[in-house]
Chain A
């Protein structure tokens, strides 16, 4: 029964990782770049929500809705100013640029907010404390359920966006072949900026969940990035629903590892990731983004 409970908690944890990884997967799918600042963008989102909560006393969820336009604008401008330039200069430059961005965000947050640890768990009220016991040993927490539901909604919405709407078709066309997309009149810069804006917004959502479910400080971004990237790779790079499954697999691996020894939690996730890499021999899953989604 404890194992069943661990798996269930792993699914809740994995849903959180999937939300974190969603934007990373989208950016990789559309632009073929990995944003090494993704974790820091999520933490930045958490800080924006924190500032709104502290100054207005609103619930973090409401505060996130207020922060959302700012995050979207940030993503859009980030793409146009930094990433677009890096994108032109080969495959290593975006990695280098986003790694630099990650350090910049961390240090700006350190300057502004000091290395103190923060959490939004207390201000989220009943959401963090409510939980139910079923069959004796299985615990279902309200937060876990909410995160899982939100993850499913986010992935479904993104899937519908990519498969049913005109901007989504444009995004897929650009992902397929940017030059050909330009030929039929798609402005790839605009499409890329839109993809980054969506990715940053979802990263902000991940940051919100991070802030509610545990604590964060200016340098907690890199850890989140590693977990998000592991989820993307385990699910197969470039596949949207794969990312959701990858996140869940990572979460379950971590909680099962923690079942043996709390210190094995992160380790077992890393080992699953390395095992997946070895099995694939580093071959990128070439199933095109969205086509299989």
Chain B
């Protein structure tokens, strides 16, 4: 079986998305600041949802604490702007600095599993929130405004912020897109389908998860930067609120958490790669899992179905093809009767 990445549909869709981005770039020229601000909020939510999807959908890292990075990004902007940096430069610096914080945090957080990770991240967000509350220079609990942005005319400010939001969203979505299309992406999809199976096939699960975690950290920091640029005022109670995680989850879940385009090809694409690289030494002859009789999977995607000769994905594919055969037969019979 050959895995085709760039089908006509995907080319059309990618081109279409590019066109939409270009069209969006003209929004500040055509619409009132009110609409521009709402569209900026929309872009922020798109960015957040995409990051959450990368984290939970592909990495299996369900976090309810990404607001840690949102809040740090927002407060980082105010902090660096306070040093006299031009506000838009401060935003980029804040993004880089607070996004980089995801690396040390990942060293600790990625050791946690499932619920411990979810709530562990939440507690990290709470600690960040309390740390901000304790700092009088950052407005403590009452909040602070990004007053340096007032120097710009409101219409221009709104437009700049919008373009920055569009740029961040496009960059992060493109990064995610090309990451998933790269050879790395195949291993990420393998992790999504079945972490243990991926590990047994030689995928470096921990490193891949760290990559996703850091990407999501940067993405959420970018969203935080944009939030403060868009609203001009932040307070720890709202910017560190778990409500952000709720938005991310609902938005992302409404658009289906990383559904595989079709499970059978995805299972084959992920298992063929490492298999070609000879035995990785992870299986001895004794523990080698049963091979699927239909594809090259070591029964990995369907380790649960020990009795069947085909893996789960292939069983599903067989069932589908049978069903469509039956439908064809039925139609043939109907045609003959007519």
Contact = CB atoms under 8 A, between A and B. Distances in A.
A181 B321 CA distance: 37
B115 A274 contact: no
Interface residues on B, range: 20 to 34
Given A226-B123, A282-B116, A99 B60 contact: no
B322 interface: no
Contact of A96 (B112, B113, B133, B253): B253
Contacts of B250: 100, 103
Interface stretch (B79-87, B124-132, B154-162): B124-132
B116 A277 contact: yes
B31 interface: no
Given A36-B64, A263-B130, A263-B133, A95 B114 contact: yes
Interface stretch (A113-121, A240-248, A264-272): A264-272
Given A92-B62, A99-B64, A278-B108, A34 B127 contact: no
Given A226-B119, A274-B127, A95 B111 contact: no
Contacts of B70: none
Contacts of A95: 62, 114-115, 118
A33 interface: yes
A230 interface: yes
B246 A92 contact: no
Contacts of B64: 36, 99
A233 B116 contact: yes
Nearest to A90: B60
B134 A263 contact: yes
A270 B127 contact: yes
Contacts of B242: 222
A192 interface: no
B112 A99 contact: no
Contact of B246 (A99, A233, A263): A99
Interface string B27-42: 0000000000000000
Contacts, number: 73
A34 B118 contact: yes
A266 B126 contact: yes
A273 B249 contact: no
Contacts of B119: 34, 36, 225-226, 229, 233
Contacts of A282: 111-113, 116-117, 120
A266 B122 CA distance: 13
Contacts of B246: 99, 103
Contact of A274 (B56, B113, B118, B124): B124
Interface string A214-239: 00000000100110011001000100
A36 B118 contact: yes
Nearest to A102: B246
A28 B114 CA distance: 12
Most buried by B among A28, A92, A274: A92
A273 B115 contact: no
A268 to B, nearest CB: 10
Contact of B62 (A96, A103, A226): A96
A267 B245 CA distance: 21
A284 interface: yes
A132 interface: no
Interface string B122-155: 1110110010011000000000000000000000
B123 A270 contact: yes
B130 A267 contact: yes
B108 A273 contact: no
Contact of A92 (B108, B114, B122, B245): B114
B127 A271 contact: yes
A281 interface: yes
B122 A226 contact: yes
A154 to B, nearest CB: 22
Contacts of A100: 249-250
Contacts of A230: 123
Contacts of B134: 263
Contacts of B113: 282, 284
B60 A92 contact: yes
A225 B115 CA distance: 12
A270 B131 CA distance: 12
Contacts of B60: 92
B10 to A, nearest CB: 27
Contacts of B249: 96, 99-100
B111 A267 contact: no
Interface of A: 28, 33-34, 36, 91-92, 95-96, 99-100, 103, 222, 225-226, 229-230, 233, 237, 263, 266-267, 270-271, 273-274, 277-278, 281-282, 284
Shortest 8 CB-CB distances between A and B: which pairs? Answer: A34-B115, A282-B111, A282-B112, A267-B130, A229-B119, A92-B62, A281-B111, A91-B114
Interface of B: 56, 60, 62, 64, 108, 111-120, 122-124, 126-127, 130, 133-134, 242, 245-246, 249-250, 253
7 contacts: A34-B115, A36-B118, A92-B60, A96-B253, A222-B242, A267-B127, A278-B108
Given A226-B123, A274-B123, A282-B111, 5 more contacts: A95-B62, A226-B126, A274-B124, A277-B108, A282-B120
